[in-house]
Amino acid sequence: MTTTELYARALSLIPGGVNSPVRAMKAVGLETPIFAARGEGAYLEDVAGRRYLDWVLSWGPLIFGHADPETVDAVVEAARRGTTFGTATEAEVELAAEIVDAVPSVEMVRLVSSGTEAAMTALRLARAATGREPFVRFRGGYHGHADPFLSEAGSGVRTLGIEAGGEGRVVDYNDLEAVERAIEGAACVFVEPVAGNMGVVPPADGFLEGLRRLCDESGALLVFDEVITGFRVARGGAQERYGVLPDLTVLGKIVGGGLPLAAFGGSAELMERLAPAGDVYQAGTLSGNPLATAAGLSVLRRLTPEVYDELEAKGRRLDALGQFGRFERVGAMATLFVDDYPALFRHLLERGIYLAPSQNEAMFLSTVHGDEEIDRTIEAVADFFS
């Protein structure tokens, strides 16, 4: 079956032919999405046999690349013992311990299945803890597709030009004065400490520190959405890199080693408000799934200081893209902002290089992106601008 035929069949069975809107290609001027057949290391192969150098890496979790042998072995071994139990497992406890050890502000953690689930429950917990309903968030940020987070959101919502109803007091990222005007009576400030869903946008000097101060003064909680930054910009996430500790942290992507797993955590006092210890309800049959926890443990236990040194060195080499446009990078996530991103996307895809089909997303470095892959990408971008 050709890609065109497969997409036609998908359109008859799946809304828009894709199971997540960000997989669509119309925003970059292409009719059909990529249908992946397999991946290996830094490369992705589609159903037509075309091979691409992959800078998307499943939107960030594959820090050791596609089909990483150690992760695959861990998942296969776990699957042989059972794919799901619906009861507690030792691996859940071990993964929680890895997260608590790594993330500075987290004393207790709850595992869930998706970043959306983690974010919406962190908001529920913040509202219960403060007795307040309103909250502050940032224009262009994305915290999943739960209703409270969707208006003026980033990522796929912005790419598709969809205006969804949401809640929250929406202000501009890096604008402390706007936060100060909006924070009175708020349950929390919900923020990506490094914006990753309007392209990579680092926090301005003093911005995160200012959010911490404003939250302390107003009685609001500070919630870091580290779904993208967690275990990517540092082992302890952006809060380790910038030295600002939130009250609650939302995690995803790398924490599940590429399988469906996310988490949220904070102080023991806050987290023990969750059922069955407390009165804030959250539940999920597949939370802490044994395959996902096996993958997560395999990855997190290998994230040594040497890995981050390696990723930083690769990132410095990739910084050469800054000669072609505004290039923003924090650790192993980056974005090249250009005037005609769809044209650049198509140019690179024709040369076997796959970026996210949206200017609002990041490029993700991994340990399997070598000098050859980085230089090839820089040369292909240079060719586009020549």
pLDDT in tens, 265-279: 999 999 999 999 999
Residue 147's pLDDT band, with cuts at 50, 70 and 90, is confident
Structure tokens at 107: 């004393």
Give the dihedral sign, CA 141/146/148/150.
positive
Q: From CA 379, how far away is CA 7, in angstroms rounded?
A: 32
Q: Average pLDDT, stretch 219-246?
A: 98
Whether 46 contacts 34, CB under 8 Å? yes
Give percent of the chain with pLDDT exceeding 70: 96
Mean pLDDT to the nearest integer, 166-170:
75
Q: pLDDT tens digit string along 53-94? A: 999 999 999 999 999 999 999 999 999 999 999 999 999 999
Q: Which of 7, 43, 52, 142 is catalytic?
A: 142
Provide the pLDDT confidence category of residue 163 given band limits of 50, 70 and 90: very low
Whether domain 88-300 has CATH 3.40.640.10: the reply is: yes
> What is the pLDDT averaged over residues 281-301?
97
**Whole-number pLDDT of residue 371:** 97
Mean per-residue pLDDT, 359-371? 96
The pLDDT of residue 156 is 52
Q: What is the pLDDT of residue 380?
A: 98
Residues 210-228 have pLDDT tens digits of 999 999 999 999 999 999 9
Q: What is the percent of the chain where pLDDT is above 90?
A: 92
Domain residue ranges in the chain:
88-300
At 154 the pLDDT is 54
At residue 166 the predicted structure's pLDDT band, cuts being 50, 70 and 90, is very low
**Is 73 one of the catalytic residues?**
no
**Residue among 184, 185, 238 at smallest CA distance from 208:** 238
Mind listing the pLDDT tens digit for each residue in 107-135? 999 999 999 999 999 999 999 999 999 99
Is residue 164's pLDDT more than 60? no
Q: Give yes or no for residue 162 having a pLDDT over 60.
A: no
Q: What is the mean pLDDT of residues 304-309?
A: 98
Task: Write a three-state SS string for the chain.
Answer: CCHHHHHHHHHHHCHHHCCCHHHCCHHHCCCCCCCEEEEEECEEEECCCCEEEECCCCCCCCCCCECCHHHHHHHHHHHHHCCCCCCCCHHHHHHHHHHHHHCCCCCEEEEECCHHHHHHHHHHHHHHHHCCCCCEEECCCCCCCCHHHCCCCCHHHHHHCCCCCCCCEEECCCCHHHHHHHCCCCCEEEECCCECCCCCECCCCCHHHHHHHHHHHHCCEEEEEECCCECCCECCHHHHHHCCCCCEEEECHHHHCCCCCEEEEECHHHHCCECCCCCECCCCCCCCCHHHHHHHHHHHCCCCHHHHHHHHHHHHHHHHHHHHCEEEEECCEEEEECCCHHHHHHHHHHCCEECCCCCCCCEECCCCCCHHHHHHHHHHHHHHHC
Is 253 assigned a catalytic role? yes
pLDDT value at residue 153 = 55
For residue 263, is pLDDT > 50?
Answer: yes
Q: Is the pTM of this model over 0.85?
A: yes
Of residues 168 and 374, which shows the higher confidence score?
374
Catalytic entry in 225, 247, 308, 314: 225
- Higher per-residue confidence, 168 vs 102: 102
- Does 308 qualify as catalytic in the annotation? no
pLDDT of residue 150: 82
Average pLDDT over residues 157-182: 75
Mean pLDDT of the chain: 95
Residue in 7, 43, 173, 253 annotated catalytic? 253
